[in-house]
Amino acid sequence: MEQKEIVHIISDSVGETAEFVVKAVAAQFNGGYIEIRRHPHVEEVEDIDPVIEAAKRQNAIIAYTLVVTSLKDYLDRRADEEGVIAVDLMNPLMEAFMKKFHKEPYHRPKLMRKLDEEYFKKIEAIEFAVKYDDGRDATGLKKADIVLLGVSRTSKTPLSMYLAHHSFKVANVPIVPEIDPPEELFTIPREKCVGLMIAPEKLNEIRKERIRAMGLKSDVNYASYDRIYEELAYAEKIMRKIRCPIIDVSNKAVEETASLIIEMFKNREELLK
């Protein structure tokens, strides 16, 4: 059996990027006979010497993705002294970026991992907003970062999705006079809740447009002022009972309301620090 050639991968993160590149190159040289040995989370020069010694002994190659200048310089120097081939997989592209965009890199490890974590956190928040939209599962109220409550057509769902894109887990609860709010709403911290109110005239206008879009009769109770006043009065009663902040969304775009909520929660986080 043909002996496998060895490639050592050194990374200040987990080494996935380097391994992917090495495998892509190895595929051009009968990659089945390449053995990859990964050395992740290298943060000290002391972590580098054993790899260089092993590579020298095995007549192996080192491929690395180190962004901390001191570590990279040390690896290059020691590999050269020991006659070991060490390939910097990031530097050519890094230099191209510097030349093209006239900017200096951060030289901080694990930034890609941080970006991945932020991406998955956002996806998780979006899935949460869909699952706990429109009060469909009250168990989500305890898990949520933010709980929105208001009558129908106060932009609870679009607000939930917008905030989810900022990585907030949002649940929303419709307030309807004929249906008691879920008990969980009165047991969670009031600081998590935000009430959404709207002027009767604006709500009448929005609901009439909604009725037209659905092809229903214009005289349905949903858009009548009597019904709107009843719903708003009940919603305000619930919000006062919870003692949550209330935002008037009458003439605000979703982005504007979301900005107010985000600012509100950021200020609270600062106070808790």
Q: Which residues are annotated as a binding site for ADP?
A: 150-157
Annotated domain spans of the chain: 5-109, 118-272
Phi, psi of 39 (to 5 degrees): -125, 85
Q: Which residue matches tokens 């020991």?
A: 82
Q: Which residues are annotated as a binding site?
A: 150-157
pTM: 0.63
* Mean pLDDT for the chain overall: 91
CATH class of 5-109: alpha beta
Q: Which residue matches tokens 């009448």?
A: 204
- What residue type is assigned to position 126 of the chain? I
List % helix, strand, coil for the chain (3-state, nearest 5): 55, 15, 30
Contact criterion met (CB below 8 Å) for 211 and 224: no
Question: pLDDT by residue (tens digit) across 105-160?
Answer: 877 777 666 666 787 888 899 999 999 999 999 999 999 999 999 999 999 999 99
Structure tokens at 59: 């007549």
The mean pLDDT of 28-41, rounded to a whole number, is 85
Q: Do domains 5-109 and 118-272 have the same CATH topology?
A: yes
Does the pLDDT of residue 2 top 70, yes or no?
A: no
CATH fold of 118-272: Rossmann fold (3.40.50)
Does the pLDDT of residue 72 top 90, yes or no?
A: yes
What confidence score (pLDDT) does residue 273 get?
56
Contact criterion met (CB below 8 Å) for 153 and 206: yes
Question: pLDDT by residue (tens digit) across 187-237?
Answer: 999 999 999 999 999 999 999 999 999 888 777 899 999 999 999 999 999
- What residue type is assigned to position 31 of the chain? G
